[in-house]
Structure 1
């Protein structure tokens, strides 16, 4: 490893904290594939599993509040997010990790600063998928 000043070192991060990247789960990729996929009974089980994962993440009031703040700003620094959300930095970090794993937000690293970016296409895909006519056997 090349010795660099501490400020020049880049490390990947998926959260607002200093805990390193979250484990990468392919759930948000599966959510992307739901649109345009046949909702026949053979596919319904895996679709419902993906949708329930996203719904579980959105069901938490703190995560929903954070997503609303991020969505209103489109992109916000983690420091500003902590100040606006009125919760501790560790709480924000944990919930941002959950939202990142589902692909609802992404983290942008700029030096020592981290910004959270809203991913509206994933939210729209979830909304379209949950209202799909064939999902629950309707026409």
Structure 2
């Protein structure tokens, strides 16, 4: 019975990880969000206005895309006095990369 408990705990951890991976991949399912993540990866941090300056999108559209990336845990949002600052959550992106690699490796 002890072995069954260990398997169930491992399965629960896998399910939580799978849910996180799915959420993050869904956030990256839009080409503009991929562009935003690439831009944010090239800078230490920036505000929404700087992202708008890099893309041909309205500020409200960029804000919505940033919100999705933050909710998925790929981007961090920090308030800095009167400005909002965004930066890539590099450990989260690295974990997503490892998870995708494991998935594709298991499938092959």
Give structure 1 regions of 4+ aligned residues with deviation exceeding 6 angstroms.
none
Of 72, 79, 96 in structure 2, the residue corresponding to residue 109 of structure 1 is: 79
Deviates more, 1:125-134 or 1:41-50: 41-50
Contact 2:52 2:58 in 1 (8 A): yes
| Corresponding residue pairs, total | 100
How far is the alpha carbon of 1:50 from its aligned partner?
2.1
SS in 2 for 1:117: strand
Unpaired runs of 5+ in structure 1?
A: 1-37
SS in 1 for 2:68: helix
Two-structure CA RMSD over aligned residues (Å)? 2.6
- Tell me how far apart the structure 1 counterparts of residues 56 and 104 of structure 2 sit (CA, whole Å): 41
Of 8, 11, 22 in structure 2, the residue corresponding to residue 42 of structure 1 is: 11
* Alignment partner, residue 98 of structure 2: 128
1:92 corresponds to 2:62: yes
Could you say if the C-alpha distance between residues 46 and 109 of structure 1 is closer, same or farther in structure 2, counting changes exceeding 3 Å? Answer: closer
| TM-score of the pair, normalised by structure 2 | 0.78
How far is the alpha carbon of 1:51 from its aligned partner?
1.3
| TM-score of the pair, normalised by structure 1 | 0.62
Unpaired runs of 5+ in structure 2?
A: 1-6
Of 53, 58, 70 in structure 1, the residue corresponding to residue 23 of structure 2 is: 53
Please state which structure has a larger fraction of its residues in helix: 2
